[in-house]
Amino acid sequence: MRKKFSKYFMYVICIAATGILLTSCGIGASVPSNGGIPTEEQLSAAMDELGDAASSLKFSVDGAICQFPVSTNDMLGLGWYFDSDVKSELKNIPANTLVAPAVPMRKNAADGYAATSCAVQPANKGISEITLGESMLYNITFSKSNGTTVILPKGITWNSTFDEVKEAYHPEEAVDKNGIKYIRILGEDHNYSLMLNFNSTDNTIDTIEFSGRL
């Protein structure tokens, strides 16, 4: 996908001296005590709406059902927000642009004493400049370490193992080699995909990444 965008303007965002890295999203914010593991009630409610097919690219995040690719305004409406420095750099996004590198979106816990985060890449596939809120999120990555409650079809979540995910989804691409484990699932139109990376120590999901192309 990056090759596709090499012919377009790349809107490179440099935030803070060290830049924005995927693993740094959430630094300085405590993680909710549940560690992102949903309750049985949350699982049951989500599974009724998500169905069984991972290729649908539907997911539940903190109790809200989303469809990838996701509108930035939809995420904002669910209580997610951009840091002030991100908003100052991304007031407007040029045409045919995928923001790179990824920037963080955060969400405060209900009690206000914790926050979770994810890494996103807003995109503008139009021919005119748009505001950040008008963009679409064509890449979203959730990390287990940030504690966001994410549920996938068939109730797959952070404590699901590599073998459990294989059995649930029967993916075409499942790699377990040299300590690297991941499962990739194409969306129904093959333009978008879901990638699950697994922790080599406990064999459970470490990151959930939705990605696509304009």
Taking only the tens of pLDDT, the chain with its 214 residues reads 433 343 333 433 333 333 333 333 333 344 455 779 999 999 999 998 999 999 999 999 999 999 999 999 999 999 999 999 999 999 999 999 999 999 999 999 776 667 899 999 999 999 999 999 999 999 999 999 998 999 999 999 999 999 999 999 999 999 999 989 999 999 998 899 999 999 989 999 999 999 997 6
Q: Are 119 and 103 in contact (CB under 8 A)?
A: yes
Residue span of the structural domain in which 160 resides = 2-212
Q: Which pTM was predicted?
A: 0.83
Q: List the 150-151 sheet strands across, edge first.
A: 64-67, 58-61, 150-151
Number of structural domains (the chain) is: 1
